[in-house]
Amino acid sequence: MLLSDRTNAQWNEPPFVVRVTTDSSRPFTLRAREALLVKNPPPEHPLGFKVLFSLNDALKTGLNEPRVVPLPSTLSYVQDGDIVIVRPASGDLRVLYRKASLHNSLMVTPACNNLCVMCSQPPRKADDETFRLAWDSIPLMDIDTPGLIPLAIT
């Protein structure tokens, strides 16, 4: 199962995390941090969602908001409650958390300096963006998530 791939939608905005939903009637207060996953145009224009994840390349909303992000077929398995990092500048998408998985892990920093001999990488410079994305994702996770494995390496 691939966890990351690239979409052809690119624009100028810092990376962000979104929770996937297929419910176009979500409360407005939740939509700003959610991606509506659609195959066909929804019955009403889904205002307020951060982005639309489209499973149909031809889908366009005709408006600037929310942006349509064609989902690569490799990531079409995402379901309600999953969380995805969107990097608009490069078009990179990464599935950060899967609601149905019992083995989610959360990358919080690449800057661990314990220098264990078996470590697969030397410490990198502190990276605030990695921590910010991890931090932003936690409130979006399902309340019944049994556990998380914090990671300090990539």
Which residues contact ligand SF4 by CB under 6 A? 112, 114-116, 119, 152-153
> Which C-beta is closer to ligand SF4: that of 58 or that of 115?
115
Nearer to ligand SF4, 115 or 149 (CB): 115
Least distance to ligand SF4 from the beta carbon of 105, Å?
12
Query: Whole-number minimum distance, CB 126 to ligand SF4, in Å?
Result: 13
Q: What's the min distance (Å) between Cβ of 134 and ligand SF4?
A: 15
Name the pairing type of β-strands 4-6 and 34-38: unpaired
How near is the Cβ of 128 to ligand SF4 at its closest, in Å?
Answer: 18
How many whole angstroms separate alpha carbon 19 and alpha carbon 67? 15
Q: Which is nearer to ligand SF4, 122 or 139 (CB)?
A: 122
DSSP string, 47-99: TT-SEEEESSTT---SSSSSEEEEPPGGGTT--TT-EEEEETTTTEEEEEE-T
Cα dihedral across residues 105, 139, 46, 99: positive or negative: positive
Between residues 63 and 119, which has the closer beta carbon with respect to ligand SF4? Answer: 119
